């Protein structure tokens, strides 16, 4: 097997955190600013149910080319707010709520080891980002991170969500590399491991919270709990 030439990273829960607590704080702000007479956590739970439904139907995994037309997170999140506001008979501004969520996603905090690990890796390998994200929050988040990447691709730029093969094929074209020369690192076994291995990349699953692997999904080539030792994993392949 040839040596690794590039490492591609997922963003959220891989390089930066995206805890539920941040979402609940966001919904508290939305309820306060819009004078919504509903418990913020209740609003969040009901909105999240619809957001999960969106994630379930946005991709035809058996026949990716038959997937529904691409819909950005901002559009989908607005529709989720529309549904909850209508059901709850709340006079809320769904557009402003969705924009607040976009802004919030652009200011997440990096994990403690992220900066040092990336700088170490960049001494020897090309690095890139491929994230299921809208540009309006992915690029502010990368700017906030303060790390330069060779290539950055969002689902919005590609018009498809992982694990659809298109995002992974697109990043390979941008890098001008073959799949076996690239390692993909992500936290989601469905989006990241299945998607990257589906096009022939090597896959590292960053399992920070001790999740049990799903036997119905492809296994990663390697599993880690933080980015600190990723360079040792890559060196093994070299």
CATH at 37: 1.10.150
Residues 122 and 233 in one domain: yes
Domain annotation covers residue 220: yes
**Could you give the CA distance from residue 84 to residue 90 in angstroms, rounded to a whole number?**
8
Residues 90 and 175 in one domain: no
Q: Is there a domain that residue 53 lies in?
A: yes
Assess whether 119 and 201 both reside in one domain: yes
pLDDT of 155: 97
Cβ atoms of 82 and 50 within 8 Å: the answer is: no
Comparing CA positions, the residue from 82, 101, 86, 89 lying closest to residue 33 is: 101
* pTM for this predicted structure: 0.95
Domain identity same for 130 and 233: yes
Q: What are phi and psi of 4, to 5 degrees?
A: -80, 135
pLDDT tens for the chain, residues 1 to 238:
569 999 999 999 999 999 999 999 999 999 999 999 999 999 999 999 999 999 999 988 888 888 899 999 999 999 999 999 999 999 999 999 999 999 999 999 999 999 999 999 999 999 999 999 999 999 999 999 999 999 999 999 999 999 999 999 999 999 999 999 999 999 999 999 999 999 999 999 999 999 999 999 999 999 999 999 899 999 988 8
- Looking at the domain assignment, is residue 117 inside a domain? yes
Q: State residue 60's pLDDT score.
A: 86
Which residues neighbour 209 within 8 Å (Cβ) at sequence distance 6 or greater? none
pLDDT for 2 equals 67
Please tell me whether residues 127 and 232 are part of one structural domain. Answer: yes
The range of the structural domain enclosing residue 204 comes to 6-17+110-237
Q: What is the pLDDT of residue 1?
A: 52
- Strand arrangement of the beta sheet that strand 6-9 belongs to: 151-154, 126-131, 6-9, 182-186, 202-206, 222-224
1: in domain: no
Phi/psi region, residue 59 (left: phi>0; alpha: psi -120 to 50; beta: rest), is beta
Q: Are 171 and 203 in contact (CB under 8 A)?
A: no
Q: Do residue 119 and residue 230 come from a single domain?
A: yes
CATH of the domain at 194: 3.40.50.1000
Would you give the distance in Å from CA 26 to the centre of its chain?
18
| Structure-token pair, residue 223 | 């599993």
Q: Which residues contact 139 (CB under 8 A, 6 or more apart)?
A: 106, 152
174-195 core/surface letters (b: 16 or more CB in 10 A; e: else)? bbebebebbbbbbbbbbbbbbb
Show the tokens assigned to 190. Answer: 């469905």
Whole-angstrom distance, CA of residue 27 vs CA of residue 47:
10
Domain final position from 105, 137, 168: 105
Q: Which of 78, 105, 132 is the last residue of a domain?
A: 105
Cα distance between residue 145 and residue 108, in whole Å: 9
For residues 125 and 27, state if they share a domain.
no
CA distance to 8, 155, 191, 197, 233, per residue, from 218 (Å): 18, 22, 11, 8, 19
Q: Has residue 198 been placed in a domain? A: yes
């Amino acid at each position: 097997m040839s040596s690794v030439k590039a490492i591609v990273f997922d963003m959220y829960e891989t390089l930066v955190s995206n805890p539920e607590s941040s979402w609940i704080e966001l919904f508290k702000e939305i309820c306060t600013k819009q004078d919504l007479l509903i418990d913020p956590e209740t609003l969040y739970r009901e909105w999240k149910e619809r957001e999960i439904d969106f994630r379930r139907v946005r991709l035809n995994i058996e026949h990716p080319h038959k997937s529904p037309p691409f819909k950005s997170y901002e559009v989908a999140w607005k529709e989720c707010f529309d549904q909850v506001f209508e059901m709850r008979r709340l006079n809320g501004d769904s557009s402003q709520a969705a924009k607040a969520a976009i802004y919030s996603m652009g200011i997440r905090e990096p994990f403690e080891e992220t900066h040092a690990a990336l700088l170490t890796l960049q001494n020897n390998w090309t690095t890139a980002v491929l994230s299921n994200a809208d540009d309006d929050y992915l690029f502010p988040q990368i700017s906030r991170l303060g790390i330069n990447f060779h290539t950055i691709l969002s689902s919005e730029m590609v018009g498809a969500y992982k694990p659809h093969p298109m995002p992974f094929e697109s990043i390979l074209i941008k890098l001008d590399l073959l799949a076996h020369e690239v390692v993909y690192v992500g936290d989601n076994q469905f989006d990241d491991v299945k998607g990257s291995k589906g096009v022939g990349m090597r896959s590292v699953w960053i399992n920070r919270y001790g999740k049990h692997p799903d036997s119905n999904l492809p296994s990663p080539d390697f599993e880690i709990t933080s980015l600190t030792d990723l360079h040792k994993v890559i060196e093994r392949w070299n």
